[in-house]
Amino acid sequence: MSQSSQLFEQAKTVIPGGVNSPVRAFNGVGGSPLFIDKANGAYIYDVDGKDYIDYVGSWGPMVLGHNDDRIKQAVLAAVENGLSFGAPTAIEVEMAEKVRQLVPSMEQVRMVSSGTEATMSAIRLARGYTGRDKIVKFEGCYHGHADSLLVKAGSGALTLGQPSSPGIPADFAKHTLTASFNDLASVEALFDQYGDEIACIIVEPVAGNMNCIPPNADFLSGLRTICDKTGALLIIDEVMTGFRVALGGAQAHYNVVPDLTTLGKVIGGGMPVGAFGGKKAVMDYIAPTGPVYQAGTLSGNPVAMSAGLAALNALCEPGVYQRLSEKTEYLAKGLKQAADEAGIPLAINYVGGMFGFFFTAEEKITRYEQVTQCDIERFKKFYHLMLEQGVYLAPSAYEAGFLSLAHSQKDLDKTIAAAAHCFKAL
């Protein structure tokens, strides 16, 4: 039995399901998860001493690659001065200014400690600011596990949301309305029915929690127009896409200006950080300036801010996003070619440092229902074959893949060669 398997058995006796976040348990692909010992550059190393080219990157934040020396040095220097003060620090101001400089729609920024906190707080603010209760989200998009957002569509179009987990009161979930990603008509229909009750639309600008689905050309601008017409706020959830698809996030890449933005993962450089921000007039509604309550003992933690700021400074170097995009494109095209040569139908989406592949005969994947119709069994088989070849992909057909600047040409070629081998074995 491997060390990972042994640890997993032991973990299950003290941690629910053996993990501190469900997708880590390999439920999406079967088998026992790898327990990780360390990571460096493009590689992670498990407790059995095996190394893998990593396309999870801690689910997104490792844009620079693992264990980047600039981030490590910043963290070590910050630790020298103490871990947490619960009082304002200069580095929080520097961080907020940096975020505003890179994402100009975020005129004011409030730091939190996770993506979930960021979206939960942004939704409360949107409700408080507009005085409306309902929100619109999209099927297949994930925004963390706050009660308002862990809601699925009711049966049939235009019905009120239903809890997607026990523990969320139906009375609460009914305020969440669900539309279809890349389908403006489905959003317009909700606004026709509930327009003056809707506080906000929250959207992943590139959906990364149903594999990887970029927005259609008019989708995000269409949401902006609907919000302008109805007084609802547009929240762009860039927890995954911020500083990953472009320096200014997906909103810069697709040229759309939200009222509020949520960030996470990447701005922590690997430490637990999230943020929300937007128009000053809206952010003024947050306590202590305004009446909408929001707080956090460890918010703006100095060690986390140091890591995040070091990451953002490194990402500001010229050419970073061009290099990242070129690497992603090279990998995507290589995987597609290898699949074609093996006679395996495969569709690929990619933007910036994000990608997704789908076992399907359809040419283009733009909708959630298409994702649900892909060959999941084939994905599971491919997943384990790739693992054997030393390539660590996200253990679910519903997650995006992430590249880093540390992935070398050699790493990408090795990955494509491994995939070619695995496609033939399918």
Which sequence positions are flagged as catalytic? 142, 237, 265
The region that residue 60 occupies, defined by phi over 0 for left and psi between -120 and 50 for alpha, beta otherwise, is left
Query: Of 183 and 204, which CB lies nearer to ligand PMP in the complex structure?
Result: 204
- Tell me the residue number closest to ligand PMP, measured at CB: 115
Burial 60-99 (b: 16+ CB within 10 A, else e): bbbbbbbebeebeebbeebeeeeeeeeeebebbeebbebb
Distance CA 156, CA 332 (A): 36
Helix ranges, 280-408 (H): 280-283, 302-315, 320-342, 368-372, 376-388
Task: Find out whether 66 and 54 touch, Cβ atoms under 8 Å.
Answer: yes
Task: Find out whether 45 and 37 touch, Cβ atoms under 8 Å.
Answer: yes
Query: Of 242 and 334, which CB lies nearer to ligand PMP in the complex structure?
Result: 242
Give strand pairing partners of 402. Answer: 354
Distance CA 49, CA 6 (A): 14
Task: Find out whether 60 and 266 touch, Cβ atoms under 8 Å.
Answer: yes
Q: DSSP string spanning 216-266?
A: PTTHHHHHHHHHHHHTPEEEEE-TTTBTTTBTT-HHHHTT---SEEEEEGG
Binding residues vs ligand PMP (CB under 6 A): 59, 114-116, 119, 142-144, 204, 208-209, 237, 239-240, 264, 274
Shortest distance in whole angstroms from residue 59 CB to ligand PMP: 6
Sheet containing strand 347-351, strands side by side:
347-351, 354-358, 401-402
Query: Of 118 and 283, which CB lies nearer to ligand PMP in the complex structure?
Result: 118
Shortest distance in whole angstroms from residue 263 CB to ligand PMP: 9
The H-or-E segment that residue 74 falls in is helix 69-79
Query: Of 142 and 368, which CB lies nearer to ligand PMP in the complex structure?
Result: 142
Shortest distance in whole angstroms from residue 304 CB to ligand PMP: 12
Query: Of 226 and 267, which CB lies nearer to ligand PMP in the complex structure?
Result: 267
Q: Tokens at residue 95, please? A: 């961080």
Distance CA 410, CA 419 (A): 14
Residue type, 251: Q
Query: Of 140 and 334, which CB lies nearer to ligand PMP in the complex structure?
Result: 140
End-to-end alpha carbon distance in the chain: 26
Shortest distance in whole angstroms from residue 144 CB to ligand PMP: 3
Task: Find out whether 383 and 419 touch, Cβ atoms under 8 Å.
Answer: no
Query: Of 194 and 398, which CB lies nearer to ligand PMP in the complex structure?
Result: 398
Distance CA 262, CA 200 (A): 13
Q: How far is CA 164 from CA 37, 145, 173, 174, 283, in A?
A: 34, 10, 9, 11, 30
Shortest distance in whole angstroms from residue 137 CB to ligand PMP: 11
Shortest distance in whole angstroms from residue 238 CB to ligand PMP: 8
Residue type, 166: P
Q: Which of 226, 183, 223, 240 is nearest to 366 (CA)?
A: 183
Query: Of 136 and 422, which CB lies nearer to ligand PMP in the complex structure?
Result: 136
Shortest distance in whole angstroms from residue 126 CB to ligand PMP: 15
Shortest distance in whole angstroms from residue 240 CB to ligand PMP: 4
